[in-house]
Amino acid sequence: MSTAIELQRIGKRYWQLSEQAMLLKSLVPLTRPKRTELWAVREVTASIGQGETIGVLGGNGAGKTTLLRLLAGVTRPTSGRARIRGRVAPLISVGVGFHHEMSGRENVYVNGMLLGLTREEVTRRFDAIIEFAELTEFIDTPVKFYSSGMYMRLGFAVAAHVDPDVLLVDEVLAVGDVAFQLKCIEHMRRLQEDGTTIVIVSHSMHAIRLLCPRALLLRKGRLEFDGDAETAISRHHELLTVDASGVSTGDAPVRIVSRLLLGPGGPTHHPDQGDVLTYRVGLQFAEAVDSPQLLFHVVTETGIIAYSMQTALGRTWHHFEAGVTANADITFRPRLGGGTYRLTVLVTDKTGSRIIGSDPTGYHLYLAPRLGTSGVADLGATIAVGAQELTDHDALLMGPPPPGAPD
């Protein structure tokens, strides 16, 4: 099986300028500003086979979008090289490549030809593109009046209908409605069956798990992991916790000095919904504290409290002297909807009126949703009409990588 994308120690460096204070700059105008190296991507080596669908994961600033721009040819590498075989269709930002004063119709022709089609080829595919984008009524309207969702639908429709050998997608599907996302997923599945290589950058673990059998995990510009998507997702959440502040700081009477989530097989960042978990938090008492109380939160990516529980306020149970350490164990089942969650703990005085210790960063974990479900809870629902079960979503998965795909 041939290789579609070959990355050999590719890197992209930018220069960060440190501006002088305005007064000094006016007094010494010829002084050159200081420059600091900033590597967005560094020493990344990977091989992607023809027909693979691969995800790219990483925290903010990890280098995901820069890597995609290098693949698209939007920017040149500072070091190394990228070899891509065939026609590349990049969809790396909503509205990029559109001329705002032109109509949707005109932009279809401009973008189609920029992606390698002749005018006659765009004309033959025009009706299919507009039907897919669901913009028949607005196709002659200047795109400056389009919403972000309309931009995305038109951009994806053009990119997907140029018969690309490599399709690059960067998070833009997040602005579409659910029905259009499903249409895009189905179209990407057909492209994959036709041998198209697809690279998807996304913060959505569900999208990566659903679409990508394999994933690259970037951390601070470097390739941290290259392998199956489930392991990449687990490693990603482990690094989110590692990169956060290790302990609470400051002059609080109680400090959080360690965090650990234990599952049936030991420490975990990627449990199953039915697992019995123990979240172990190490407490260090900088001052003497009588009968401290704990408040446990499970927080979603958007900051919503999905679950909360606290100890019995006002109960006298133990006096801790200064310098003492103790572990607090919180046992629970993560009967939550799929997604990324953060576990946090607050320590209060006996009455609960004063916070005496906190863990603002918390512990990150990922729960894989049952296919077809969403939300902050999983009620275990099924749907049947008559005797026909209608909630088997296994066919939505892209499936294993093609035979011969690079390891």
pTM over 0.75: yes
**Together in a domain, 258 and 227:** no
Let me know if 342 is exposed, middle or buried by CB neighbors in 10 A (0-12, 13-18, 19+): buried
Q: What is the pLDDT of residue 390?
A: 84
What digits encode the pLDDT tens for the residues 301-322? 888 999 999 999 999 999 999 9
Give every CB contact of residue 331 below 8 A, 6+ residues apart in sequence. 276, 277, 278, 279
Single-letter residue type at 237: H
3-state SS class at 132: helix
Q: Is 386 part of any domain?
A: no
Confidence band (pLDDT; 50, 70, 90) for 30?
A: low
What is the C-alpha separation between 31 and 210, in angstroms, rounded?
A: 54
Total count of domains within the chain = 2
CA-wise closest residue to 84 among 41, 117, 49, 44: 49
Q: Is 140 part of any domain?
A: yes
What is the C-alpha separation between 332 and 329, in angstroms, rounded?
A: 10
- Which H, E and C letters describe 174-224, residue by residue? HHCCHHHHHHHHHHHHHHHHCCCEEEEECCCHHHHHHHCCEEEEEECCEEE
Q: Is 389 part of any domain?
A: no
**Together in a domain, 50 and 135:** yes
**Together in a domain, 58 and 90:** yes
**Together in a domain, 158 and 254:** no
Domain ends where: 239, 261, 287?
A: 239
Of the listed ranges 79-93, 304-318, 344-358, the one predicted with least confidence: 79-93
**Together in a domain, 167 and 204:** yes
Domain ends where: 239, 271, 306?
A: 239
| CATH code of 321's domain | 2.70.50.60
Q: What is the pLDDT of residue 82?
A: 93
Of the listed ranges 104-108, 125-129, 236-240, the one predicted with least confidence: 236-240
Q: Which domain holds residue 326?
A: 244-367
Q: What is the pLDDT of residue 294?
A: 96
**Together in a domain, 126 and 191:** yes
Q: Is 200 part of any domain?
A: yes
| CATH code of 196's domain | 3.40.50.300
What digits encode the pLDDT tens for the residues 201-254? 988 888 888 889 999 999 999 999 999 998 999 899 988 888 765 555 467 899
User: For residues 209 and 5, which has the higher predicted lDDT (pLDDT)?
Assistant: 5
Mean pLDDT, range 131-146, rounded to an integer? 92
Tokens coding 406? 């690079």
What is the C-alpha separation between 311 and 316, in angstroms, rounded?
A: 11
**Together in a domain, 209 and 329:** no
Confidence band (pLDDT; 50, 70, 90) for 402?
A: very low
**Together in a domain, 216 and 291:** no
Q: What is the pLDDT of residue 398?
A: 58
**Together in a domain, 212 and 275:** no
Note the Cα 45 to chain centre separation in Å: 21
What digits encode the pLDDT tens for the residues 186-197? 888 888 888 999
**Together in a domain, 33 and 130:** yes
User: For residues 1 and 335, which has the higher predicted lDDT (pLDDT)?
Assistant: 335
Q: Is 402 part of any domain?
A: no
Confidence band (pLDDT; 50, 70, 90) for 342?
A: very high
**Together in a domain, 184 and 208:** yes
Mode of pairing for the β-strands spanning 197-201 and 53-57:
parallel
Q: Is 153 part of any domain?
A: yes
**Together in a domain, 159 and 289:** no
What is the C-alpha separation between 404 and 2, in angstroms, rounded?
A: 9
Q: At what angle do helices 104-114 and 119-133 cross, to 10 degrees?
A: 120
Q: What is the pLDDT of residue 403?
A: 46
